[in-house]
Amino acid sequence: MSPKYKDGSGLTRCPPVDNLQVMQPSGYGNLPDARLDATFAALADPTRRAILARLASGEASVRELTEPFAMTQAAVSKHLKVLERAGLISWARDAQRRPRRLEAAPLAEANEWLERYRQFWEDSYVRLDALLAEMKQATTKRPRGGSRTTTKRKGK
Amino acid sequence: MTMSSTPKKSLEITTPSDEEIRITRSFDAPRMMVWDAYTRPELVKRWLGAMPGWSWAVCEMDVRKGGKYRWVWRGPEGVELGLGGVYREVVPGERLVSTERYDQQWYEGDAVGTVEFSEAKGRTTLVTTLRYASKDVRDAVLQSPATSGMESGYALLDELLASTAAA
């Protein structure tokens, strides 16, 4: 199964990661790490992501979830177990079809966590953009003695 | 949870070797200007580490070969996050190589960061390469499960969150 997230050059694009070191040690240390690990591990697999994407559009039975994949129902069930353990999906035990449904909370939590990693450099670089714009302006606008500006007055 | 970043400003993350992570981003300014923004503490403090609720506690940089730097941020409830290292190579406007180690380092060995500055048509591209002690450490930093699916994981998460009213 070739991962879709690789572009033609074989490069993997992902959010900035070195800030991960900045964020990890203590700043956000009160996050439930074990659950996040389970969430990320569950999300690492393309089939499981596809299953989640399917469930995002509505609940579905194991059979329905198996249809799009070249896999046995047993193989899909294994993936579903991983997703269940991560709390990403749940199912109604009393219903006959036992449809699986998406649980939003762990995803929101994982997204928030990842978002912070990425956001660190993203935000920093956006600030750097602003600083550089300011520096450029300061350079071009520096008044020089006796310089003739081309500012034109309106009217005469 | 917006993912809106214009393409030209978007960060690109690659793994050029087993021990490395590379971050590429371009800026609309000549490289000496970017160099200044990267190496002068009073300027660095203006942009690096824009975490909400955090502020600078220490920003010291002795940018010359063998010189040291130390950065400390103070966060909510007085939590401090510090890192520092030694400059190994300083070529103004071109190349900055330094070691980095966090106060609460959670992986083995120092990392070595190389920042390369190149300019084309008035735009400067920064290529930051972080080299870790081993592939294991690099992978730990990348958190391999997340890395292998991070980009698509993101896209998916966004999609899922958008389509799921509950939270």
pLDDT tens digits, one per residue of B141-157: 665 333 333 444 444 44
Inter-chain residue contact A49 with B104, CB threshold 8 Å: no
Q: Which residue has the higher pLDDT, A87 or A34?
A: A87
Q: Which residue has the higher pLDDT, B127 or A10?
A: B127
> DSSP 3-state assignment of B81?
strand
What distance in Å separates residue B152's CA from the closest CA in chain A?
Answer: 5
Nearest to B114 by CA among B34, B37, B23: B23
Nearest neighbour of B161 by CB, restricted to A20, A24, A108: A108
Q: Superfamily for B7-163?
A: START domain (3.30.530.20)
Q: Which residue has the higher pLDDT, A44 or A77?
A: A77
Nearest to A59 by CA among A111, A97, A106: A97
Nearest neighbour of B47 by CB, restricted to A11, A25, A131: A131
> By the 8 A CB rule, do A41 and B95 touch?
no
Which of B43, B47, B56 is the mutation pick for testing A, counting most A CBs within 10 A? B47
Locate the domains of chain B by residue range: 7-163
In chain A, what residues touch B4 (CB-CB under 8 Å)?
none
In chain B, what residues touch A126 (CB-CB under 8 Å)?
9, 50
How sure is the predictor about A1, in pLDDT bands with cuts at 50, 70 and 90?
very low
Rounded to whole angstroms, how far apart are CA atoms A117 and A18? 8
pLDDT tens digits, one per residue of B32-53: 999 999 999 999 998 987 567 7
Write down the H helix ranges in A71-103.
73-85
> By the 8 A CB rule, do B113 and B129 touch?
yes
- The CATH architecture of the domain made up of A34-121 is Orthogonal Bundle (1.10)
Average pLDDT over residues B131-135: 83
In chain B, what residues touch A136 (CB-CB under 8 Å)?
29, 33
In chain A, what residues touch B49 (CB-CB under 8 Å)?
22, 120, 124
pLDDT tens digits, one per residue of A119-134: 667 778 889 999 999 9
Rounded to whole angstroms, how far apart are CA atoms B16 and A147? 50
pTM value > 0.90:
no
CA-angle at B138, arms to B47 and A9, nearest 5°: 85
The highest-confidence range among A103-107, B115-119, B127-131, by mean pLDDT, is B115-119
Inter-chain residue contact B11 with A125, CB threshold 8 Å: yes
> By the 8 A CB rule, do A132 and A54 touch?
no
Cβ neighbours around B121 below 10 Å, total:
5
Inter-chain residue contact A14 with B151, CB threshold 8 Å: yes
Nearest neighbour of A121 by CB, restricted to B15, B23, B143: B23
The highest-confidence range among A106-110, B1-5, B146-150, by mean pLDDT, is A106-110
Which of A7, A9, A17 is the mutation pick for testing B, counting most B CBs within 10 A? A17
Rounded to whole angstroms, how far apart are CA atoms B74 and B57? 6
> By the 8 A CB rule, do A56 and B160 touch?
yes
Which of B48, B59, B79, B125 is the mutation pick for testing A, counting most A CBs within 10 A? B48
Residues 6+ apart with CB under 8 A from A96: none
Examine the pLDDT at B111 and tell me if it is beyond 60: yes
In chain A, what residues touch B43 (CB-CB under 8 Å)?
131
Rounded to whole angstroms, how far apart are CA atoms B60 and A102? 48
- Please give the pLDDT value at position A93: 72
Mean pLDDT across chain B: 78
Average pLDDT over residues A38-65: 81
Locate the domains of chain A by residue range: 34-121
Average pLDDT over residues B90-110: 86
Sign of the torsion formed by the C-alpha atoms of B75, B3, B126 and B132: positive
Cβ neighbours around B137 below 10 Å, total:
17
